[in-house]
């Protein structure tokens, strides 16, 4: 029974996850704590972990909650449920897309959407920067963070560094520098 509940809950979360980011965290919290699956404090921990580990937050939260409640089976059920809406909606849109993407109207629309994406990513950069700096204990750590971030920006944007290698180096730098 709890597997069915897990499935329905995370399917719902998947449906209402638009545009990613922090908007759906409130929804996830409400769904999970109101069912007594987790306390509010535990949820904050999960969000912290989900942000620091790779992968979409919704997927991370689903795997975590499912595993803590039921074990491996729960993790798989909750995770499948949270990605199912993606699969359905994207496949539906893809069909439509192949048919219409070369029409002039759609081309014009996308010519307007492309710069919007630039603005959205820029806004995300600002949000992630403020949240990260806010979470650090003192000015020295913040300065170090800004220096590392600038180095990665320069290397990836202008020197064709591999993003993966850059992140691995950042983790190592963190081990050495962030005391």
Partner 1 sequence: MAKERNYLMKLFISFFKIGLFTFGGGFAMIPLIEKEIVDDNGWATKQEILDIFALAQSVPGAIGVNTAVFIGYKLKGIVGALVALLGVISPSIIIMVVIAHFFIQFRANIYLDRAFNGLKAGVIGLICAATWQIAKTAVIDRFGLIVALSAFVLSAFGIIPVVWVIVLGAFSGYLYYRTSKGRSAR
Residue nearer to partner 1 on the CB measure, 3 or 148: 148
Distance in angstroms (rounded) separating the CA atoms of residues 38 and 32: 6
150 binds partner 1 (CB under 8 A): yes
Beta strands in the chain (DSSP E): none
Binding footprint of partner 1, residue count (CB under 8 A) = 96
Stretch that binds partner 1, among 1-9, 27-35, 108-116 (CB under 8 A): 108-116
29 binds partner 1 (CB under 8 A): no
Q: Which residue has the tokens 């059920």?
A: 77
Contact pick of 2, 8, 44, 123 for partner 1 (by CB under 8 A): 123
139 binds partner 1 (CB under 8 A): no
| Helix, strand and coil in the chain, % to nearest 5 | 80, 0, 20
Report CA-CA distances (Å) from 103 to 46, 72, 97, 115, 116: 45, 47, 10, 20, 20
172 binds partner 1 (CB under 8 A): yes
56 binds partner 1 (CB under 8 A): yes
The least CB distance from residue 178 to partner 1, in Å, is 4
């Amino acid at each position: 029974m709890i597997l069915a509940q897990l499935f329905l809950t995370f399917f719902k979360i998947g449906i209402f996850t638009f545009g990613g980011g922090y908007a759906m965290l409130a929804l996830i919290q409400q769904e999970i704590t109101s069912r007594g699956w987790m306390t509010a404090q535990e949820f904050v921990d999960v969000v912290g972990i989900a942000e620091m580990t790779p992968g979409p937050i919704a997927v991370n939260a689903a795997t975590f909650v499912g595993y803590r409640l039921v074990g491996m089976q729960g993790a798989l059920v909750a995770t499948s449920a949270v990605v199912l809406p993606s699969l359905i909606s994207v496949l539906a849109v893809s069909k439509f897309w192949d048919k219409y993407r070369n029409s002039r109207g759609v081309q014009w629309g996308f010519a307007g959407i492309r710069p919007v994406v630039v603005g959205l990513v820029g806004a995300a950069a600002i949000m992630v920067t403020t949240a990260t700096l806010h979470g650090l204990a003192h000015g020295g750590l913040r300065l170090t963070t800004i220096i590392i971030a600038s180095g990665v920006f320069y290397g990836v944007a202008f020197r064709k560094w591999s993003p993966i290698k850059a992140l691995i180096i950042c983790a190592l730098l963190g081990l050495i520098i962030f005391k």
